[in-house]
Structure 1
Amino acid sequence: MADQVICGGWTETQDADEDTQKICDAVKDQVEQRTNQKYAVYKAVKFRSQIVAGINLSIKVFAGEEDYIHLRVFQQLPCYGGKVELVNVEEGKTKHDPLGPFPYC
Structure 2
Amino acid sequence: MPLRRGGTSEAKDANEEVQKICDEIKSHAEDKAGRTFDVFTAKSFKTQPVAGTNYFIKVHVGEDDYIHLRVYKTLPHAGEKLELHSLQTSKTHHDPIEYF
Which residue is equivalent to 1:12? 10
Q: 2:52 aligns with which of 54, 68, 76?
A: 54
Which residue is equivalent to 2:98? 100
CA deviations over 1:1-41 (Å, ceiling 9, x no partner): xx522222110000000000011111101000111111110
Structure 1 gaps of 5+ residues are none
TM-score (ref. length: structure 1): 0.92
Measure, in 2, the Cα distance between the counterparts of 1:82 and 1:7: 18
- Identical residues among aligned pairs (%): 45
- What CA RMSD, in Å, does the superposition of the two structures yield over aligned residues? 0.9
Deviation at 1:76, TM superposition (A): 0.2
Measure, in 2, the Cα distance between the counterparts of 1:13 and 1:97: 12
User: How many matched pairs?
Assistant: 100
Amino acid aligned to 1:54: G
Which residue is equivalent to 1:32? 30
Runs of at least 4 residues of structure 1 off by over 2 A?
A: none
Amino acid aligned to 1:10: T
Bigger fraction of residues in strand: 2
